[in-house]
Chain A
């Protein structure tokens, strides 16, 4: 037996203050109410954070409005300098931010360190490059910023979602009021500090922490010109209703129930890795997670045996341990939802399997789980679980695979596994999903547009396409 000794990343690189205020007009200021943010791995309170009310949101939007005049008339090359500076500071402080993100979110340090933070910096670098080239982006000879962007982001990739929102907004000359998720406000507040360190003009970026109501005040605020939201389809729908008819520009990046299609000529060992990465990466808290595995019947048995063997090596536990593969579920509420849907899966007759894996006593934990014998009629094949739970379905022909993959109200991502290039192209062409990965999964790059079909939302983030949402 070869057991790895504990290899904890040091917490000492990050200093979390006992309380944080709202970041408005370049200054941290208090709010009337506060709420606590905890470490989901052990339920320890990390800090007490201001809860922004309507008047706080009002002040933030006003600050952003005041800053807009100067920021939007700054030459693109000058705005780029600020973005490059922010990107470099993020790189310099990446270890601190990675530890912070793992503490507040519960994701394994190897992911925050090797995936989240590099992508966050890359996003700022990428859009910094666009700031002085907007004329050539294909949106007319003189594209103009929209004004104040109200942005609401989720808890699954707190800092990465912030980067996806703020980088293109600033590059195009907009100013921003951003509301991070209730359970993961800390990295956005550290980002506020980075804005000050980069000497970004006051009011260009404002961070208002809070819960659902704070987000509602923000998107409904009459002086907001642009709303960008990433989160659940339910909330997205409410936002679309409230924004309808106001003239605000809206992009929504919502849920998903992606099909990961494995054909019998797939590279099996790499497909197994891709399946694992597709659903257990970030505890399955990924909107584009490959939560439905569609496997060709002729290899289903062999593939599932390999998948189970691979799952048995997943290391679930302390997010700060460098060898942890699957961390903590982000909140008690999310754990309850995952648990509930999993129980429904079992009740509906699907066969449930998890590897033997001891879970910590405190905090929110859910063992990696697969359901076999799932049909299109099962709720676990239709509803987004947003946890480490995979539903396995089979198919016999490529046509059936495509039909089943598309038979969902969502359409954010999909995966195709085959060694046959022509099949990959033919299938990808018919999948109604914003992103289709071939022989890989969950690969992100700032240059590549990302967004959904149907109930997965509209608008694109990333790449040249991502500029469009912030330009008139």
Chain B
């Protein structure tokens, strides 16, 4: 067996040109087809008991996020408290999966979340642009972990990716993964900037080969964030990657998912493409903020039979 073939089977390409050959050898994505499939899955009718089940699962999958320049310790504490008890009036409402903040805000979230089982995610690596030297990105990552984050959401260098410098993107992910230590690494592809579905598939594989624990669509800071077709391609990628390499990788669409109806479309998509194994907060997350209140509103509607106004749900 040639060196290239060996490296591909092991999942560790040994040169930049191998990586390129591999990524460009992945099956293409037909734009019309993938969009039609995503739209068709979006027509599933999820009602009554199935809806109740879906809402609770979606709540448990939320990475409750605030990523604003205006974030303060007080705001982050409030958000963290909400993560633990999304609906203070209903003890049966499950907590969310994680809180996601900037590195500087990690200590304040950690105070509230410590020992709760709710994860603490921090964006790092010069989020959202990723335009900083590698040593700065690594320091950013180490600081966030040291401050208590057990999940790191990094951004890839889209410029390097689009320039075809896959080796650089790969090496950065490997380095950040190492800096994470035991913290889980989510790799943000920023699919809105990758321009084609073929690129989304390549970037997904690149991140997984480099050691990503999760692949995430977007920062939420560019005009096009998570979409159903992009998430479908990423789900197919994690499915195929596990089949080939035996390692399961999670998926996190982020940005633009605001309603229960949207969230359910994603759950349907998981259900009918990768199945049960990913229908779990360990393997699928929603990066969102306003989504949670809509989920809570719909949850209340299902249990009480009527809609409550926005003042009955806590502000983030």
Chain B interface helix/strand/loop/mixed:
helix
Contacting residues of chain A (244-283) with chain B, CB-CB under 8 angstroms: 265-270, 273-274
Residue in B28, B50, B272, B276 whose CB lies within 8 Å of A5 = B50
A268 & B50 in contact (Cβ 8 Å cutoff):
no
A440 & B28 in contact (Cβ 8 Å cutoff):
no
Count of chain A to chain B residue pairs whose CB atoms are closer than 8 Å in the complex? 68
B44 & A4 in contact (Cβ 8 Å cutoff):
yes
A267 & B279 in contact (Cβ 8 Å cutoff):
no
Chain B residues within 8 Å of A4, by CB:
44-47, 50
Q: Is B53 close to A, CB under 8 A?
A: yes
A273 & B43 in contact (Cβ 8 Å cutoff):
no
A2 & B271 in contact (Cβ 8 Å cutoff):
yes
Chain B residues within 8 Å of A225, by CB:
none
- Smallest CB-CB separation from A266: which chain B residue? B27
Distance of A389 Cα from B44 Cα, bound (Å): 25
A273 & B37 in contact (Cβ 8 Å cutoff):
yes
Chain A residues within 8 Å of B43, by CB:
110, 114, 322
Q: Is B54 close to A, CB under 8 A?
A: yes
Q: Is B154 close to A, CB under 8 A?
A: no
Chain A residues within 8 Å of B276, by CB:
1-2
Distance of A322 Cα from B47 Cα, bound (Å): 11
Distance of A268 Cα from B34 Cα, bound (Å): 11
Q: Is A34 close to B, CB under 8 A?
A: no
A269 & B49 in contact (Cβ 8 Å cutoff):
no
Contacting residues of chain A (79-113) with chain B, CB-CB under 8 angstroms: 110
Distance of A283 Cα from B147 Cα, bound (Å): 58
B45 & A322 in contact (Cβ 8 Å cutoff):
yes
Q: Which of A2, A267, A419, A440 has the most CB of B within 10 A?
A: A2
Q: Is B2 close to A, CB under 8 A?
A: no
A267-B27, A268-B27, A270-B37 known; A440 and B47 CB under 8 Å? no
Q: Which of B28, B49, B57 has the most CB of A within 10 A?
A: B28
Distance of A245 Cα from B240 Cα, bound (Å): 61
A368 nearest CB across to chain B (Å):
15
Residue in B44, B49, B279 whose CB lies within 8 Å of A323 = B44
Chain A residues within 8 Å of B29, by CB:
267, 269-270
Chain B residues within 8 Å of A5, by CB:
46-51
Distance of A3 Cα from B48 Cα, bound (Å): 11
A5-B49, A114-B43 known; A265 and B28 CB under 8 Å? yes
Contacting residues of chain A (395-454) with chain B, CB-CB under 8 angstroms: 419, 439-440
B53 nearest CB across to chain A (Å):
7
Chain B residues within 8 Å of A2, by CB:
50, 53-54, 57, 267-268, 270-271, 276, 279
B27 & A269 in contact (Cβ 8 Å cutoff):
yes
Q: Is A313 close to B, CB under 8 A?
A: yes
Chain A interface helix/strand/loop/mixed:
loop
Contacting residues of chain B (44-98) with chain A, CB-CB under 8 angstroms: 44-51, 53-54, 57
Distance of A4 Cα from B272 Cα, bound (Å): 11
Chain B residues within 8 Å of A1, by CB:
276
Q: Is A7 close to B, CB under 8 A?
A: yes
Residue tally, chain B, CB below 8 Å to A: 29
Distance of A5 Cα from B45 Cα, bound (Å): 9
- Smallest CB-CB separation from A313: which chain B residue? B272
Residue tally, chain A, CB below 8 Å to B: 22
Q: Is B30 close to A, CB under 8 A?
A: yes
Chain B residues within 8 Å of A114, by CB:
43
Chain B residues within 8 Å of A274, by CB:
33
Distance of A114 Cα from B49 Cα, bound (Å): 26
Distance of A3 Cα from B270 Cα, bound (Å): 12
A439 & B33 in contact (Cβ 8 Å cutoff):
yes
Distance of A273 Cα from B47 Cα, bound (Å): 26
Chain B residues within 8 Å of A313, by CB:
272
Chain B residues within 8 Å of A267, by CB:
27-30, 33
Contacting residues of chain A (1-21) with chain B, CB-CB under 8 angstroms: 1-5, 7
A118 nearest CB across to chain B (Å):
13
A440 & B32 in contact (Cβ 8 Å cutoff):
yes
Q: Is B294 close to A, CB under 8 A?
A: no
Contacting residues of chain B (183-207) with chain A, CB-CB under 8 angstroms: none
B295 nearest CB across to chain A (Å):
16
Q: Is B236 close to A, CB under 8 A?
A: yes
B164 nearest CB across to chain A (Å):
19
Chain B residues within 8 Å of A270, by CB:
29-30, 33-34, 37
Residue in A265, A268, A269, A439 whose CB lies within 8 Å of B32 = A439
A440 & B33 in contact (Cβ 8 Å cutoff):
yes
Distance of A85 Cα from B138 Cα, bound (Å): 67
Contacting residues of chain A (181-211) with chain B, CB-CB under 8 angstroms: none
Chain A residues within 8 Å of B268, by CB:
2
Distance of A114 Cα from B40 Cα, bound (Å): 10
Subset of 5 A-B contacts with CB under 8 Å: A2-B53, A4-B46, A267-B29, A269-B34, A269-B37
Q: A269-B29, A270-B34, A440-B32 are in contact. List 6 more A-B contacts (CB 8 A).
A: A2-B276, A3-B50, A4-B47, A266-B27, A266-B28, A439-B33
Q: List 6 A-B pairs, minimum CB-CB distance, nearest first.
A: A270-B33, A7-B45, A322-B45, A419-B28, A267-B30, A270-B30
Which of B's residues lie within 8 Å of A, judged by CB?
27-30, 32-34, 36-37, 43-51, 53-54, 57, 236, 267-268, 270-272, 276, 279
